[in-house]
Amino acid sequence: MIDIHTHFFYEGGHTESFQNEADLARGAPVKLTVSAAEFDAAMQPVDRAIVLACRALRVGMHQDNNVIARFAARSPAKYVAFAGIDPCEENFMDELEHCLGDLKMRGVKLLPMYAGFDPRDTRLNPLYERCTREKLPVLFHSGTTFCRDAPLRFTKPTLWEEVAERFPDLKMVLAHLGHPWEHEMVALIRKQPNIWTDVSALHYRPWQFYNSLMLVQEYGVWNKLLFGSDFPVTTPQAQAQGMRALNKMLEGTRLPRLNMDAIEQVIERDSFKLLGI
């Protein structure tokens, strides 16, 4: 099992107001901050994992790429770190240079709605060019979030069609099936060979997830789904179990079933190979 979407939320990597908004959204205190031991324990069932650094200063995420790179380097055979870049920061290309050159990070994480930018913004051209040239994947947050100051206008999946038109060889992963705009995501991944989506942090809304995966099934795009958890939001184990349990919800009904073989293939997919990591 490969988890392409994890975070190491360490003490001091985000502001108190970000934590407060997460608590408000959940209706109870959310434990975002985890220790290295807790992280490793949660990742026991997976063979490899991508640890995504998060920088979106607008909403109070200011993780240090050095910390995330060092964290992943404890187990280089298992963990791969992606650089957290906020293009609203003046010297973001210098930071990218540092992440790729000095820290040997293997991809980039961007958070358009959290940081307050449009993924089509031409400011990003040098980053997209560099990642295309060096065959580095870019993983974006897509779909909604709880933060009040994160504009919805920067997150709907169809925005990325223009990025793919301008950078057709750039490998992009749009997270969370673009929820709740999964219909846009399905349309996009069907026609764009270098865009994938991940299923992270969706299993705890089972009715919505079932409907989203029915869209995936009916449009024939199971092959474009990558497995991820969004740890510490949930764990890879819970995410896999949640996917395997979806059809159980339908017992006693004649509703169409999800293809369990296709679900197993998502859980076992070699995403590192697909993304060229």
Interface residue list for Zn ion (CB under 5 A): 230
CB of 168 to Zn ion, least distance (A): 26
Q: Three-state DSSP class for 90?
A: coil
CB of 5 to Zn ion, least distance (A): 6
Using CB positions, name the residue nearest to Zn ion.
230
CA distance 21 to 146: 7
* Nearest residue to 221 via CA among 254, 251, 177: 177
Find out whether 140 and 105 touch, Cβ atoms under 8 Å.
Answer: no
CB of 7 to Zn ion, least distance (A): 6
* Nearest residue to 170 via CA among 141, 128, 140, 198: 128
Checking DSSP bridges between strand 55-56 and strand 61-62, what pairing results, if any? antiparallel
CB of 249 to Zn ion, least distance (A): 25
CA distance 161 to 164: 5
CA distance 218 to 173: 21
Nearer to Zn ion, 182 or 230 (CB): 230
Nearer to Zn ion, 19 or 259 (CB): 19
Nearer to Zn ion, 240 or 258 (CB): 240
Determine the distance from the C-alpha atom of residue 53 to the mean position of all C-alpha atoms in its chain, rounded to a whole number: 11
Q: Who's near 116: CB < 8 A, 6+ residues apart?
A: 56, 58, 88, 149, 150, 151, 154
CB of 130 to Zn ion, least distance (A): 23
Nearer to Zn ion, 86 or 230 (CB): 230
CB of 193 to Zn ion, least distance (A): 24
